[in-house]
Amino acid sequence: MNAKEQVQQISGVNPYKCMKCGKCSATCPAYEEMDIKPHQFVSYVQSGNIEALAACKSMWKCLSCFACVERCPRDVQPGRILDAARQIVVRQRGGNYLTAEEIPPLVDEDLPQQLLVSAYRRYKR
Amino acid sequence: MIFSYYPGCTLRNKAKDLDAYARASAEALGFTLQELDNWQCCGGVYPLGTDEIASKLSSVRALAEAKDKGQDLVTLCSACHHVLKRVNDDMTNVEDIRTRANNYMKLAEPYAGETKVLHFLEVLRDVVGFDTLKEKVVNPLTGQKIAAYYGCLLLRPGKIMALDDPENPKLLEDFIRALGAEPVVYPYRNECCGGYISLKEPDMAKNMCNTINESAKGFGAECFITACPLCRYNLNKTEQGLPVYYFTELLAEALGVKEGAL
Ligand code: SF4
Ligand code: SF4
């Protein structure tokens, strides 16, 4: 299976349903921080340029807020594409964005456990 | 009436108050939250990958235990609610996930989504009823202007959470009214607080929470209520932020069971 097929399979997204309306990018709260924008995720899959997607900053900026999923008029679920690219990076390439050593100085007294487990799930294998 | 109850990791630690006020309020309203015998952390974020199985099993075990007991499964934390409902949807509707998850489990009968997952707020609205709740209030929060902060996970994706209209919810506003207070509706009530980004990029979360805070203040709110420990943590980092309470704290206060609940 090539990388394009892998992303399609892991994400379950059909990128050809997208009509490029841009609503996902308009509603994304992390838009400013992203190098590849939500409405562009599908184009990278369509053209098979998974390497660029796998090297993007955006996957570490996504908040899993599902605004793009809820508000897409075509039910494309662009956030899932980014997640699949992230899966390829953390599963196959050891590309963890968070290490256990980094954590202690980031923790303050009020920090809820939920924050650590969520960050672990998103940033690490 | 007895419900199976999934507290989740944070309600056993930093958010003990969210849990304690809910239990005390439940008793005052005539139902009991019976903690599952065995539960593990849900992981906080629903695993989106279609091939993710192992990361969903803690939810499946909780769902299966509630099924064994023949009880609906109630949860309080927005994230646990989100993960449990989505995994339950997978177990109901996605054959591949259902088969593979069951292969890991030693169940007498395969789990296929039989358990009904309810957020505590749904119990208040659909089982107790806001009219009944209103009658049971002994300390109405008269005059308080309260901003409901929904955030993301309670409402989205709307089709699966099926809690309320994801773009124009009224569940928490109706709850606030039942307690005798005045809900403040403001545009950012269902926008993201930054979630887990606050661990590595606190400034990004802070910016987002500042916007939410300004939005609520601009409409005259005096405080926020939320169901999510992470939303509360992030909102508490804003400058001159409004106070943030768990919805269960105000509930316990209005029902007169706050003292001694903790
Ligand atoms: S909102 Fe949906 S249809 Fe519109 S650009 Fe984004 S993915 Fe494509
Ligand atoms: S889920 Fe991620 S990509 Fe989608 S709107 Fe939220 S932050 Fe943006």
Q: Do A112 and B15 touch (CB under 8 A)?
A: yes
Rounded to 5 degrees, what angle do the CA atoms A27, A33, A37 make? 55
- As a whole number of angstroms, the distance between CA A34 and CA A96 comes to 18
CATH number for the domain running over B2-120: 1.20.1050.140
The answer on pLDDT for B247 being more than 90 is yes
In sequence order, which ranges of chain A are alpha helices (DSSP H)? 3-11, 23-27, 38-46, 50-54, 67-71, 78-92, 113-123
**Interacting residues of B48 by C-beta distance below 8 A, sequence separation 6+:** A11, A64, A79, A80, A83, A84
Residue that wins the pLDDT comparison between B122 and A106: B122
* pLDDT band at residue A92 under the 50/70/90 scheme: confident
Decide: helix, strand or coil at residue A79.
helix
- The pairing of strands B223-226 and B117-119 is unpaired
Is the overall model pTM greater than 0.90, yes or no?
yes
Of B46, B166, B200, the CB nearest to A70: B166
Ligand 2 pocket, A28 CB below 6 A?
yes
pLDDT (average), residues B104-130: 96
Determine the pLDDT at residue A99.
84
Domain of A16, CATH number, reads 1.10.1060
The answer on pLDDT for B215 being more than 80 is yes
Q: What domain range includes position A100?
A: 3-123
Domain ranges of chain B: 2-120, 130-261
Of B117, B133, B156, which is closest to residue B5 (Cα–Cα)? B117
Ligand 1 pocket, A28 CB below 6 A?
no
Ligand 1 pocket, A21 CB below 6 A?
yes
Rounded to 5 degrees, what angle do the CA atoms A78, B102, A80 make? 5
Task: Count up the domains in chain A and report the number.
Answer: 1
pLDDT (average), residues B162-166: 97
**Interacting residues of A99 by C-beta distance below 8 A, sequence separation 6+:** A124
Contact B124, B131 (CB under 8 A): no
Fold classification of B130-261 is Rossmann fold (3.40.50)
Task: For residue A84, list chain B residues with Cβ-Cβ distance below 8 A.
Answer: 48-49
Asked if this assembly's ipTM is beyond 0.95, the reply is no
